[in-house]
């Protein structure tokens, strides 16, 4: 589970431009944005999401209720999340006391362990990179249309999300993980997760 806040402004991607030349692109003010909070099933890649005016404890609880409705037969739903303040709020903690959902916060600086982070990156590439939307309404429709159409895109796009997943790399390097499926891996003790470091995080040692 994770939130994303796409702004109404083009995101610069890549393009073929002659050396020494610059390419001008249209842009907006970027003062308007969408607030999307979502969760993706690590096994089926099914997406559950909400678009709210703001992401806080109340909207997070609303998303958790959607997850419980989406999986009525599940006795327990393990939700991997980061350490955002609204996920650790008192309101959310109180709701979880009588909920089938179990939140598992990730270690700091480890977005590579959260699959939906990779989904949001794919979402931005498809909807925002080098795309200009003159009006905010057009931008909002484009974002919603992508999220709605994800159910039909899953079979073709699953490899894009999983092929560079840090979890897949760990499974390939360590045969001991082969006997666990993806759900059980997330249920391993937090001490095990702490051992997975962010690949781009530098370790500073005192001199």
pLDDT in tens, 77-87: 999 999 999 99
User: Out of 24-28, 73-77, 189-193, which region has the weakest mean confidence (pLDDT)?
Assistant: 189-193
Q: Which residues span the domain enclosing 156?
A: 2-10+24-194
CATH assignment of the domain containing 175:
3.30.420.10
What's the confidence (pLDDT) of residue 163?
A: 59
In a domain, 154, yes or no: yes
Mean pLDDT for the stretch of residues 135-158 = 89
Nearest CA among 166, 201, 172 for reference residue 186: 166
- At residue 176, does pLDDT exceed 60? no
Tell me the H-state helices in the chain. Answer: 57-70, 90-96, 115-127, 136-162, 166-173, 182-186, 190-194
**Local confidence band at 162 (pLDDT 50, 70, 90 cut-offs):** low
**Considering the domain boundaries, does residue 17 fall inside one?**
no
The structure's pTM equals: 0.74
Tokens of 68: 């419980």
Q: Average pLDDT in the 42-68 region?
A: 94
Q: Determine the Cα–Cα distance for residues 49 and 67; give it in Å rounded to an integer.
A: 9
Question: How many structural domains does the chain have?
Answer: 1
Average pLDDT over residues 181-194: 40
């Amino acid at each position: 589970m994770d939130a994303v806040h796409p702004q109404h402004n083009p995101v610069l991607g890549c393009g073929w431009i002659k050396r020494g030349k610059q390419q001008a692109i249209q842009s907006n003010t970027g003062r308007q944005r969408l607030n999307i909070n979502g969760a993706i099933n690590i096994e089926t890649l099914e997406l559950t999401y909400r678009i709210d005016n703001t992401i806080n404890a109340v909207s997070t609880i609303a998303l958790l209720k959607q997850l419980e409705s989406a999986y009525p037969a599940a006795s327990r739903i393990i939700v991997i999340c980061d350490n955002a303040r609204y996920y650790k709020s008192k309101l959310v903690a109180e709701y979880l006391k009588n909920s089938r959902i179990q939140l598992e916060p990730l270690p700091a600086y480890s977005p590579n362990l959260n699959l939906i982070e990779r989904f949001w990156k794919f979402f931005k590439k498809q909807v925002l990179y080098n795309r200009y939307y003159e009006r905010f309404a057009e931008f909002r429709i484009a974002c919603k249309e992508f999220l709605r159409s994800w159910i039909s895109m899953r079979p073709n796009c699953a490899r894009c999300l999983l092929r560079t997943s840090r979890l897949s790399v760990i499974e390939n390097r360590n045969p001991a993980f082969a006997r666990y499926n993806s759900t059980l891996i997330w249920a391993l003790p937090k001490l095990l997760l702490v051992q997975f470091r962010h690949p781009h995080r530098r370790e500073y040692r005192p001199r």
